[in-house]
Amino acid sequence: MTESVQPSLLSGFDLSTPLPGIPNMASELPVARVVIDSAVPHLDRPFDYLVPTELDAMAQPGVRVKVRFGGQELAGFLTERLEHSEPGLKLQPLRSVISPEIVLSAPVLAVARAVAERYAGGVWDVLRSAVPARMARMETQKATDSDGALEKGSVEAVDDVPLARPAPVPEDALLAEYHGGADYARLLRNGESPRAVLSAVPNRPGDWPALLLQAAEQALASGRGVLIVVPDARDLARLTSTLDERLGPEAYARLTAEDGATPRYRNFLRVARGQSQLVVGTRNAAFAPVKDLGLVIIWDDADNSHAEPRAPYHHAREVLLLRCGIENAGMLLVAPGRSAEAQRLVRSGWAHELGADRSLLRANAPRVIAASDEFEAERDPLLHAARLPAAAWREAKAALAHGPVLVQVARTGFMPALRCERCRTPARCTTCNGPLALGDARGAPACGWCGLVAHDWNCVECGFMRLRASSIGADRTAEELGRAFPNIKVVAATGAKPLHTVPDTPALVVATPGAEPVAANGYAAVLLLDGDRMLSREGLRTGEEVLNRWMGAAHLARGRDATAERPGGGTVVVAGDPTEPMRALVRFDAAAYAQTELDERRDLGLPPAVRLAMVRGPAAAADKFMDALDLGGEVRRHGPVLEGEGEHRWLLFFSYAEGPAVTAALRAMRATFSAAKEPIVAIRIDPDGIL
DNA sequence: AGCACGCCGACT
DNA sequence: GTCGGCGTGCTC
């Protein structure tokens, strides 16, 4: 706030012989350790400053500060107050404390550091995700100000609520339906921190939001905080509507970028001030400064919305894993399917599997039909155009008498790579050599790897300028289906045009994976049309991804048996050639499939049975970087692979045990190269979709 | 990205 | 002897 700098202070002070007191500086703990806002790798460490007397009171660990660094003024977080610094340093004074609000708690800083270590990235990059942008007005605003509804839950309102209410033992009936679920609930209530993985049985009362809430309530009953992370706005809306109904909107704080900077910071402040013990949100909420954290829950960790698209590309599941280690909290991974990573946690004994009886699953899961060999589809031009097998058409037709029908189609990103219309040479990106695909609704071809839009593409082989566009997106499928089902309402929901819910009336709902709207009483039928297309994509994890997307959609279907609200029961039709993922869907057993996949990866030495790092950069720099790395003999190196314009890509495979040493070595080497002004190499840890 | 410091050449 | 060229490396 107050500008503290006086000319005489700018020269700095030598604190090697500390005290007795420096004029105008705090007499107790005069040194402030600060994490500065710098993207430069070799500056990714704390720096010490002196605290001027007038900033003494506000300069608490966790506040935002401004400091002079080199020539410039930088933002930073004050992390510690110390009696003295390293000998021989000339300390500058702190320029200002931006606000007295403690926005970076000690545990969250520790988590951010662990995340930066794990991903060989900068602490500041992690903090950028962890602490939302400051909105100054939110810090001073009173509960009586303006828009009333939004202001509930501010300091005054919460202080009025008596905290010591007789706490009833929370419900755990839904959790107890799983083997070990009742024990898991009891441990949480008793203040312990159990860890579990659970594949949800569909069509139970309240569905997964009710299940997550029950788990949360166990930990809340022990007086501890709870954090729930979901992939996207749709799932958050579903969860918060359950929380609103059962606990009321004051009982939790929601943290998501989608709300906009101001509400997000308002809710963040409630959490930071300890006014909210239950936090729900999307991936960055994994860093929410929940006090006395007892349990972290992640819903659908296989959804790649959980992966941060900016450096250091951390995944919410991994953030939470590190976090529950640091804060000694329990963890619960709940999903409609099973990621190989979650299965690994079960297999290694780190987490318990809370399994369900086959009978419970059979009674609640939809009927699954594999429509594998379909000659009829070829004969009927309407069905062929909509690439609808006859069995799917029949099921949909019957189901439409009872309710809405979901049609899952592949995202355009899943389409086979585009080719030259004349010579059929695959179209590749001119900069990174990645496959081109139709990126947006207007059909501009874009690179599937780097996203670069190829405006003036021409074939490298024959020079032809037109691409073969075989892609059919959700919108076109919707049109085709409209013709195949006259008089039925058709709606399309894609990532670009999201739709969270649909009414419980007959309609065809065409959606891409992850964007499926929720039907109030479930879908009468779910058609999974593009399995072959999705499975044809190159990639180590394609089968697992496709199965998890199918399971996600299948969870939106009614149970097989008809009920009063759900006449006709629910059916899932999966079209395509018989494959392992399809068989796993028919058995409704994603865990077994994930285990098979994991075993196979272990035999092959591939992720996630092992960890992976990628180093990419200008050929000479990348090679030099790899050459300078000193890694243990157990680390497998693979490369260089030529990529794009004179770029080399290297891969490193290493065990989880070696992980910390490898990422530390990569981080240290990057700092060395950065200081030596070597060309920048990109480092990605456990990247998805490159194998 | 700025800014100090340093080693060397040109000029008072 | 002193001023200032910009090249190298550090920044609390």
Region A259-280: what's the mean pLDDT?
97
Instruction: Give the CA A12 to C1' B1 distance in Å.
Output: 21
Whether the beta carbon of A23 falls within 7 A of nucleic chain B: the reply is no
Instruction: Give the CA A69 to C1' C5 distance in Å.
Output: 26
Read off the DSSP letter of residue A287: G
Whether the beta carbon of A66 falls within 7 A of nucleic chain C: the reply is no
Sorting pLDDT into bands at 50, 70 and 90, what band is A378? low
The single-letter code of the amino acid at A621 is A
> Over 60: is that where the pLDDT of A535 sits?
yes
Q: DSSP letter string over A406-440?
A: EEE---GGGSPPPEETTT-PBPB-TTT-PBEEE-S
Q: Would you state the torsion angle of the CA atoms of residues A282, A283, A289, A291, taken in this order, to the nearest 10 degrees?
A: 70
Whether the beta carbon of A222 falls within 7 A of nucleic chain C: the reply is no
Region A481-487: what's the mean pLDDT?
87
Nucleotide nearest A40 (Cα, C1'): B1
Residue A497 or residue A308, greater confidence: A308
Instruction: Give the CA A8 to C1' B10 distance in Å.
Output: 36
What pLDDT score does A474 carry?
73
Tell me the pLDDT tens digit for each residue of A660-686: 999 999 999 999 988 888 888 999 999
Residue whose Cα is closest to the C1' of C10: A70
Reference A76, options A42, A35, A126; nearest CA is A35
Whether the beta carbon of A51 falls within 7 A of nucleic chain C: the reply is no
Inter-residue contact A391 to A374 (CB < 8 Å)? yes
| Fold adopted by A136-141+164-360 | Rossmann fold (3.40.50)
Domain ranges in chain A are 7-100, 136-141+164-360, 366-600, 611-685
Which residues, in sequence order, are CB contacts of A643 under 8 Å at separation 6+?
A432, A433, A616, A649
3-state secondary structure of A519: strand
Nucleotide nearest A674 (Cα, C1'): C9
Q: Nucleotides on strand B with an atom closer than 7 A to protein CB?
A: 1-3
Whether the beta carbon of A68 falls within 7 A of nucleic chain C: the reply is yes
Fold agreement between A136-141+164-360 and A366-600: yes
Is the dihedral angle over the CA atoms A296, A132, A139, A1 positive or is it negative? positive
d(CA A257, CA A283): 9
* Buried b or exposed e, range A381-417, using 16+ CB within 10 angstroms: eebbbbbbbbbbbebbeebbebbbbbbbbbbbebbbb
* Buried b or exposed e, range A589-624, using 16+ CB within 10 angstroms: bbbebbbbbbeebeeeebbbbbbbbbbbbbbebbbb
3-state secondary structure of A250: helix
CB atoms within 10 A of CB A11: 8
Instruction: Give the CA A260 to C1' B1 distance in Å.
Output: 31
What pLDDT score does A429 carry?
75
Residues 28-57 on chain A lying near strand B, CB distance under 7 A: 40
CB atoms within 10 A of CB A424: 11
Tell me the pLDDT tens digit for each residue of A157-213: 444 444 555 567 899 999 999 999 999 999 999 999 999 999 999 999 999 999 999
Whether the beta carbon of A40 falls within 7 A of nucleic chain C: the reply is yes
Global pTM value: 0.87
Whether the beta carbon of A71 falls within 7 A of nucleic chain B: the reply is yes
Read off the DSSP letter of residue A298: E
Instruction: Give the CA A107 to C1' B1 distance in Å.
Output: 32
d(CA A489, CA A522): 17
Percent of chain A with pLDDT over 70: 86
Lowest-confidence range among A362-371, A491-500, A623-632?
Answer: A491-500
Q: DSSP letter string over A30-65?
A: -EEEEEE----GGG-S-EEEE-BGGGTTT--TT-EE
Instruction: Give the CA A468 to C1' C1 distance in Å.
Output: 78
Phi, then psi, of A344 in degrees rounded to 5:
-60, -40
Tell me the pLDDT tens digit for each residue of A232-247: 999 999 999 999 999 9
* Binding residue ranges of A for Zn(2+): 420, 423, 429, 432, 447, 450, 459, 462
Sorting pLDDT into bands at 50, 70 and 90, what band is A420? confident
Q: Look at phi and psi of residue A120 and say left if phi exceeds 0, alpha if psi is from -120 to 50, else beta.
A: left
Instruction: Give the CA A219 to C1' B11 distance in Å.
Output: 80
CB atoms within 10 A of CB A202: 21
Residues 625-684 on chain A lying near strand C, CB distance under 7 A: 675
What pLDDT score does A1 carry?
34
d(CA A88, CA A12): 11
Sorting pLDDT into bands at 50, 70 and 90, what band is A448? low
Whether the beta carbon of A462 falls within 7 A of nucleic chain B: the reply is no
Instruction: Give the CA A34 to C1' C12 distance in Å.
Output: 9
Instruction: Quote the CATH superfamily of domain A611-685.
Output: BMC (bacterial microcompartment) domain (3.30.70.1710)
3-state secondary structure of A335: strand
Whether the beta carbon of A38 falls within 7 A of nucleic chain C: the reply is no
Is the dihedral angle over the CA atoms A295, A299, A303, A306 positive or is it negative? negative
Which residues, in sequence order, are CB contacts of A162 under 8 Å at separation 6+?
none
Residues 309-348 on chain A lying near strand B, CB distance under 7 A: none
Nucleotide nearest A72 (Cα, C1'): B2
Instruction: Give the CA A639 to C1' B5 distance in Å.
Output: 42
d(CA A161, CA A171): 23
**Does residue A608 have a cis peptide bond before it, meaning omega lies within 30 degrees of 0?**
yes
Inter-residue contact A508 to A388 (CB < 8 Å)? no
Instruction: Give the CA A219 to C1' C3 distance in Å.
Output: 73
Inter-residue contact A447 to A362 (CB < 8 Å)? no
d(CA A436, CA A425): 12
| Fold adopted by A7-100 | GIY-YIG endonuclease (3.40.1440)
Phi, then psi, of A330 in degrees rounded to 5:
-80, 170
What pLDDT score does A664 carry?
95
Whether the beta carbon of A70 falls within 7 A of nucleic chain B: the reply is yes
> Over 60: is that where the pLDDT of A15 sits?
no
> Over 50: is that where the pLDDT of A17 sits?
no
> Over 60: is that where the pLDDT of A144 sits?
no
Q: Which residues pair with A368 in a beta bridge?
A: A572
| Fold adopted by A366-600 | Rossmann fold (3.40.50)
Q: Nucleotides on strand C with an atom closer than 7 A to protein CB?
A: 10-12
Q: DSSP letter string over A581-632?
A: HHHHHHHT-HHHHHHHHHHHHHHHT-TTSSEEEEEEEEHHHHHHHHHH----
Instruction: Give the CA A7 to C1' C4 distance in Å.
Output: 26
> Over 90: is that where the pLDDT of A589 sits?
yes
* pLDDT averaged over every residue in chain A: 87
Whether the beta carbon of A39 falls within 7 A of nucleic chain C: the reply is no
d(CA A226, CA A223): 10
Whether the beta carbon of A11 falls within 7 A of nucleic chain B: the reply is no
Instruction: Give the CA A160 to C1' C5 distance in Å.
Output: 70
Whether the beta carbon of A485 falls within 7 A of nucleic chain C: the reply is no
